[in-house]
Amino acid sequence: MNNKTLILSPMMKIYDMVPYLKNKNIKFECCSEQDAEIYLKENNNYYNVTSYKNNFVKYQCGELEGKYIDLDFAYLKDLSIIDYRTRLVLFKMIIDIEHYLKIRILNTIEEISEEDGYKIVNLYLEKDFNDKERPKRVHESIRKKVSNEYYQKIFSKYDLDKDTKIENIPIWEFLEIITFGELINFFDFFTKYYILDDNKYIFILREVNKLRNAVAHNSCVLCDLDKKDNTHRVDTLVINYLKDCGIGKENRNTKLSNSRIRQITYTLYMFNIIVSSEGIKNNVKHDIIKLFYGRIILNGKYYNNNGLLKSIYNYFDKIIEKNYKENLDQ
């Protein structure tokens, strides 16, 4: 039983936010107090903007102990905008990963003589000793979409509004009505059942899905970049990918120990692996280059004294230079 007492913080008013930040030694020299209040009121909320402050160092001793060193509100505002632009690009990439994962499944099934597109779905929806809750989970997830007009063409064929077993849905329709997370679960089952090499991507895809959920809900991605996850697992495929980018072991270990950096890295890797359209690839590459070598460095002087953010930028610079800039078709 958890006996920890939850302390509820009162909601902070706009006019209280600036004094509170100033008390933490956050300055308002590059961005005035008035402009900061307007930004907080009209463009972003206090929680989101201030979440980026954890990317900056604090005094460790003296009268300013626990307060921030060389941090202006403008830096937080800038990171908030960069984060928003980054989420847009990442979401675009993840949607493409999902689309081409479906295509990969369909193309593989065509090559399996014993598969008709119904068998594998029916097997997946049957009870599994390794995942006993799967049939119930999938059925409930599908039924939640019954009233959604975008799926009516599919659902009109099946008696899904009653408590009956869902069966005999062909793979090409099944893939359109399950979530990305369930798609990955199905891909795991499918590649194990037919003993396919593509199963090696499952762990990476699960990490991509974590990022997808955060991005889809507009959660801040570029915060807590110094936080370490000592229990994380690193995929060998990604290690070799980073080696090929010229990123050394110590740098790899440090960066991949942060869950956010790791998930972005895995997304960059998986996009190149699974998306087969050169047109789509080039479109995303242009977006990445515009963001990375344009908007992100627009106010680069803000971060001259921030070793953490400079190191992370250099890390992703190596990945983008090797896989997204160098191979871009003009």
Query: pLDDT tens digits, residue range 15-50?
Result: 788 999 999 999 999 999 999 999 988 887 777 888
Please give the C-alpha separations between residue 267 and each of 58, 98, 205, 206, in angstroms, as whole numbers: 31, 11, 8, 10
Name all contacts of 151-154 with Cβ < 8 Å and 24+ positions apart.
151/176, 151/177
**Averaged over 67-96, what is the pLDDT?**
97
Q: Counting beta carbons within 10 angstroms of the beta carbon of residue 230, is it exposed (0 to 12), middle (13 to 18) or buried (19 or more)?
A: exposed
Please give the C-alpha separations between residue 173 and each of 102, 178, 282, in angstroms, as whole numbers: 11, 9, 29
Rounded to whole angstroms, the Cα distance separating 130 from 125 reads 13
Question: Are 329 and 289 within 8 A, CB to CB?
Answer: no
pLDDT digits (tens, 9 = 90+) for 266-320: 999 999 999 999 999 999 999 999 999 999 999 999 999 999 999 999 999 999 9
Residue 41, amino acid: K
| pLDDT number for residue 330 | 47
Residue scoring higher pLDDT (49 or 159): 49
| pLDDT number for residue 205 | 98
**Averaged over 240-244, what is the pLDDT?**
97
Residues with Cβ within 8 Å of 36's Cβ and at least 6 positions away in sequence, in order, are 17, 18, 21, 28, 73, 77
Q: Give the CA-trace dihedral at 69, 70, 73, 78, to 10 degrees.
A: -120
DSSP-based three-state secondary structure for 288: helix
**Averaged over 204-211, what is the pLDDT?**
97
Please give the C-alpha separations between residue 330 and each of 278, 308, 318, 323, in angstroms, as whole numbers: 12, 33, 20, 14
Assign 3-state DSSP to the chain and report helix, strand, coil percentages, each to 5: 60, 0, 35
Going by pLDDT thresholds of 50, 70 and 90, the confidence category of residue 138 is confident
| pLDDT number for residue 159 | 62
Best CA proximity match to 54, nearest among 221, 265, 296, 214: 221
Is the confidence at residue 91, as pLDDT, over 90?
Answer: yes
Residue scoring higher pLDDT (317 or 126): 317
Residue scoring higher pLDDT (44 or 254): 254
| pLDDT number for residue 161 | 54
DSSP conformation class of 325: I
Report the percentage of the chain scoring pLDDT > 70.
90
Q: Which two tokens stand for residue 32?
A: 């005035």
| pLDDT number for residue 45 | 75
Average pLDDT, the chain: 90
pTM above 0.95, yes or no: no
Residue scoring higher pLDDT (145 or 245): 245
Please identify which residue in the block is written with the tokens 């209280």: 16
